[in-house]
Amino acid sequence: MITRSSSAYIESTSDLVEDAIRVLVVDSSEAMREGIRHMLAGDEGIKVVAEARNGKEALELVAKITPDIIILDGSLRGTDTTKIISHIKECSPLVGIIVLNDQQSFLVPAIENGASGFLSGDVGRSDLIGAIRIVHLWRMVLFQQGSNFTLVKL
C-alpha cells in the first residue's frame, strides 16, 4: 500500500522482506524517483519505502520512517544539498546517504557533511545496488570517478 502526501510517499511496511535494506529516494524529478524505484524493485533485499521531492520532505520522512539508506539527488533545485545532508545526519546519524551527482567538485563537501557514497547520476542498476549494500553493510564511504570505484573505511 502506498500513502501519498503531495509528491512524497511512504510505502506500507507490511510487505517488506524482514531484513530488507530500507531506502528513501530524494530527487526533484518524478521520473528519476520512478527510475530509481524501478531499478531497485527487482532486488528482494532492498526496498524503497519512501520518496521525497525536496530536502524538507526528506527531513520529515527521515524522522517518520528511519531509512537505512538515502539516495539523494546532489543537485536538488533551490536547496543547498550539503546542508540537507548535514541536517539528515543530525536527525539520523546511522543512515547512509548516497549522493547522485556528476560534479566531482561536490564530492568533498558532500563527504565532509556526512555523505556515505557519491555516484554518477547515470549509475547503472548493478552499481547502485552494490553501492547500497556496501554502504549499508560496511559503513564505508564509496565514491565513483568515471568507471572506477573507491572505498574509504570510516
pLDDT, tens digit (0-9, with 9 covering 90-100), for 4-14: 444 555 554 44
Phi-psi region of 114 (alpha: psi -120 to 50; beta: other; left: phi over 0): left
- Low-confidence residues of the chain: pLDDT under 50: 1-6, 12-16
Per CATH, the number for 2-153 is 3.40.50.2300
56, 83, 150 from 76: Cα distances, Å = 11, 11, 25
Per-domain boundaries in the chain: 2-153
